[in-house]
A and B are shown apart, each in its own frame.
Chain A
């Protein structure tokens, strides 16, 4: 794989920037050039937050509509708004209680375009773990578990170990593991 374009979408406080960092560090480990774009400032106060990440040979940190390979979305409405970034054949991981909640027509349209849509209740799993802040790591773990993404379990785990603050390491690894197992099922 020489190029991968990832969109991470959600709202302020959902750990979008940390999630983006996980994949950037992964890219660095893989020896890929990294270009990402982040939202800072006013939107961080509960507004829409979106991170673009391009690994491989790119110039711009921003992803054009219809060209992204993977979308991680941590909030339902932000999922709808971010789907436009995906190319045909791309994959979306949505934090959602169930795929039934999602608009039927949109799902059909995604299917026509060959876009894989995987819904997983990462927030629910995070609540059960007693750590709602871990929703992002759980969804990322889930995606690795499905085997549909180019990231390997050991690689992302070691990235997490290297970039997580000590006090949160245990809970982050547990979240990653929880998501990973759910993804494998």
Chain B
């Protein structure tokens, strides 16, 4: 008897995880980063539910994740590696090289893009990385499609012995849809690495041959994509209007809803492209030939558009019809479409915006609600102490919750993972060259330090840089949703790993001055920072490392109860706003009518840190 098809509401990333599991993948690795973080946990959940033997790891960084997955593939197994788009920058060295050496078992790379950007440093389009490395790219437009594409990507990867990239954008990764399940495939693939130095250890002479082979594979893959109708298909089979549209990913989904709502579905022809690289050129050219003009709507950059050979009829980013930055949300697509259809006398779309209403809302001058560190966050305590102890320092920082130290004016730079330390040593050398002594405080989270701190730190020590490094150790990767770190010694599926203590790692990088402190003890931290500054100024000084350790309160709610100090605000408060400007705790707010600060008990976690903050001593513990 046929089983009833199972349907579950899944997040896009969980659907991708399901696709990885259904494809019989043996090894999955990842480093967390929005919008990709939920893929690996989904694989863990399905592994447990189905009693599978999948090997799953949170790797120390994306390159490490990539290489571990690649080795599994070289041993004949199926492997997947997931990361956010800027993570692919970190893994790119491996990506470029592995495109030449190729794979044995299917290797699928999932790189989640973040047009907007919502939670990233850049809006880069991972599909360009696919082109750059010369690996095929799938570009899903829904969670269901993402799941199916992942499965096909494994098959394509194995058939052509090439790594394959799947690129969901944030709106696919964080969409939620009722997803149809398929049975889980099982492949018995004992690890069997076959030595072949000409391939796996190829010298430049052999690399040229591998490159030729790669180019030949791409031609065959392109041919396969030409004949594919599952991901690359036309909607509207009539002659249609003079304007046709080529689109992909989430832009396709938004466009289809708009065409339906505007009663244009079927009359405006659409070519949906699910495999943007290598582009099925004949299919695209045939579609363009049937129309006077073709609008290309794609996110985030002009990947399809750039590949089109004859662009004389093409409207898109390169002709100024599509914005060069920012997310293509439905309203943006609607306006683009309305403009182009109007310009070519195809149809008139009513304006979807209510200008008068928007103006009235603008007049209210609503405050922009910026993200902020949680009430009781130990990182806030550390940033307050840093500013208090060394108000004139350069504050280099890094990627994580603690980027929000910006709000406390305790973060001057955020470049990429690891740059908290490298920019600190770089600033030191730039000033030192002119014999100028400058205080520099680098802040970095524990997970970021494991990701890319060690090479940066040992380089700084080796080259005699002198600055203060504060590791904000909350014992978890907090920003991306509480993934374990090597410091915790818990692996991806919750089993025990080997703990790598920060202290030992920092000592191993050559740092001689290392102290550990609980940042909740603000006065002691201020004193320690001043001591560290003296050390960095001494002739035999170097990098001074302070590990500010206090568990994340969201991840470890019991950490709230370790110390509780209920506070109140006395009549000494004169509404000077110092605590709000310099401490910015969500639980402290100004009562504008009475011009005093109040405690919002909804948010307050009784950490008591703010007692150290008020210059008038108006925040006091409640006597019990």
Interface 9-residue window, one of A45-53, A90-98, A165-173: A45-53
Interface residues of B in 1-48 (CB under 8 A from A): 7, 9, 11, 34-35, 37-38
Q: Does A11 interact with chain B (Cβ within 8 Å)? A: yes
Interface 9-residue window, one of A30-38, A141-149, A150-158, A176-184: A30-38
**Interface 0/1 of A1-22, CB less than 8 Å to B:** 0000000000110000000110
Q: Does B240 interact with chain A (Cβ within 8 Å)? A: no
Interface residues of B in 250-290 (CB under 8 A from A): 250, 252-254, 256-258, 260-261
Bound-state CA distance A20–B9 (Å) is: 12
Bound-state CA distance A60–B261 (Å) is: 12
Smallest beta-carbon distance B116→chain A, Å:
10
* Across-interface contacts of A134 in B (CB, < 8 A): none
Bound-state CA distance A34–B176 (Å) is: 7
Which one, A37, A67, A113, contacts B171 given CB within 8 A? A37
* Across-interface contacts of A36 in B (CB, < 8 A): 175-177
**Interface 0/1 of B223-263, CB less than 8 Å to A:** 00000000000000000000000000010111011101100
* Across-interface contacts of B357 in A (CB, < 8 A): 83-84, 106, 109
* Across-interface contacts of A83 in B (CB, < 8 A): 357, 361
* Across-interface contacts of A105 in B (CB, < 8 A): 360
Q: Does B510 interact with chain A (Cβ within 8 Å)? A: no
* Across-interface contacts of A67 in B (CB, < 8 A): 261, 352
Q: Does A164 interact with chain B (Cβ within 8 Å)? A: no
Q: Are B361 and A106 in contact (CB under 8 A)?
A: yes
Binding site for A on B (CB under 8 A): 7, 9, 11, 34-35, 37-38, 118-119, 141-142, 171, 174-178, 250, 252-254, 256-258, 260-261, 329-331, 334, 352-354, 356-358, 360-361, 364, 366-367, 369-374, 401, 404, 479-481, 586, 602
Bound-state CA distance A17–B443 (Å) is: 32
Q: Are B586 and A46 in contact (CB under 8 A)?
A: yes
Q: Are A61 and B175 in contact (CB under 8 A)?
A: yes
Q: Are A35 and B330 in contact (CB under 8 A)?
A: no
Which one, A59, A60, A132, contacts B602 given CB within 8 A? A132
Q: Taking CB as reference atom, which chain A residue is nearest B480?
A: A41
* Across-interface contacts of A103 in B (CB, < 8 A): 360, 364
Smallest beta-carbon distance B255→chain A, Å:
8
Smallest beta-carbon distance A39→chain B, Å:
7
Q: Are B34 and A40 in contact (CB under 8 A)?
A: yes
Interface size (A, Cβ < 8 Å)?
47
Q: Taking CB as reference atom, which chain A residue is nearest B377?
A: A45
Q: Are A48 and B369 in contact (CB under 8 A)?
A: yes
Interface residues of A in 52-105 (CB under 8 A from B): 53, 58-67, 77-78, 80-81, 83-84, 103, 105
Q: Are B361 and A59 in contact (CB under 8 A)?
A: no
Number of A-B contacts (CB under 8 A): 150
* Across-interface contacts of B353 in A (CB, < 8 A): 65-66, 84
* Across-interface contacts of A34 in B (CB, < 8 A): 9, 176-178
Q: Taking CB as reference atom, which chain B residue is nearest A77?
A: B366
Bound-state CA distance A31–B277 (Å) is: 36
Q: Does A111 interact with chain B (Cβ within 8 Å)? A: no
Binding site for B on A (CB under 8 A): 11-12, 20-21, 24-25, 27-28, 33-48, 53, 58-67, 77-78, 80-81, 83-84, 103, 105-106, 109, 113, 132
Q: Are A40 and B481 in contact (CB under 8 A)?
A: yes
Which one, A39, A59, A77, A132, contacts B256 given CB within 8 A? A59
Bound-state CA distance A40–B116 (Å) is: 13
Q: Is the interface of A mostly helix, strand, loop or mixed?
A: mixed
Smallest beta-carbon distance B176→chain A, Å:
4
Which one, A45, A46, A64, contacts B331 given CB within 8 A? A64
Q: Are B119 and A45 in contact (CB under 8 A)?
A: no
* Across-interface contacts of B330 in A (CB, < 8 A): 60, 62-65
B37, B356, B370, B373, most chain A CB atoms within 10 A: B370
* Across-interface contacts of A84 in B (CB, < 8 A): 353-354, 357-358, 361
Q: Are A61 and B171 in contact (CB under 8 A)?
A: yes
* Across-interface contacts of B257 in A (CB, < 8 A): 58-60, 64
Q: Are A60 and B364 in contact (CB under 8 A)?
A: no
Bound-state CA distance A34–B11 (Å) is: 11
Q: Are A43 and B118 in contact (CB under 8 A)?
A: yes
Q: Are B174 and A38 in contact (CB under 8 A)?
A: yes
24 residue pairs A–B, Cβ–Cβ below 8 Å? A21-B9, A27-B178, A28-B178, A34-B176, A35-B175, A39-B174, A40-B37, A45-B401, A46-B369, A46-B372, A47-B371, A53-B176, A59-B141, A59-B257, A60-B171, A60-B257, A61-B253, A62-B171, A62-B329, A63-B330, A77-B366, A83-B357, A84-B358, A132-B602
Q: Are A65 and B331 in contact (CB under 8 A)?
A: yes
Which one, B118, B374, B602, contacts A45 given CB within 8 A? B374
B34, B119, B175, B256, most chain A CB atoms within 10 A: B175
Given A34-B177, A35-B176: A81 and B261 interface contact (C-beta under 8 Å): no
Which one, A11, A20, A47, A60, contacts B176 given CB within 8 A? A20
Bound-state CA distance A24–B177 (Å) is: 8
Q: Are A24 and B176 in contact (CB under 8 A)?
A: yes
Q: Are B177 and A61 in contact (CB under 8 A)?
A: yes
* Across-interface contacts of B358 in A (CB, < 8 A): 84
Q: Taking CB as reference atom, which chain A residue is nearest B327?
A: A62
* Across-interface contacts of A63 in B (CB, < 8 A): 330
Which one, A21, A41, A44, A59, contacts B35 given CB within 8 A? A41
Given A35-B176, A42-B34: A65 and B352 interface contact (C-beta under 8 Å): yes
Q: Are A64 and B352 in contact (CB under 8 A)?
A: yes
Q: Are A42 and B479 in contact (CB under 8 A)?
A: yes
Q: Taking CB as reference atom, which chain A residue is nearest B361?
A: A80
Which one, B175, B369, B401, contacts A37 given CB within 8 A? B175
* Across-interface contacts of B334 in A (CB, < 8 A): 64
* Across-interface contacts of B329 in A (CB, < 8 A): 62
Q: Are A59 and B253 in contact (CB under 8 A)?
A: yes
Bound-state CA distance A26–B353 (Å) is: 30
* Across-interface contacts of B38 in A (CB, < 8 A): 40
Q: Taking CB as reference atom, which chain B residue is nearest A127?
A: B602
Q: Are A43 and B371 in contact (CB under 8 A)?
A: yes
Which one, B34, B176, B258, B372, contacts A64 given CB within 8 A? B258
**7 shortest interchain CB distances as A-B pairs:** A41-B34, A41-B119, A60-B253, A47-B371, A64-B330, A36-B176, A59-B253
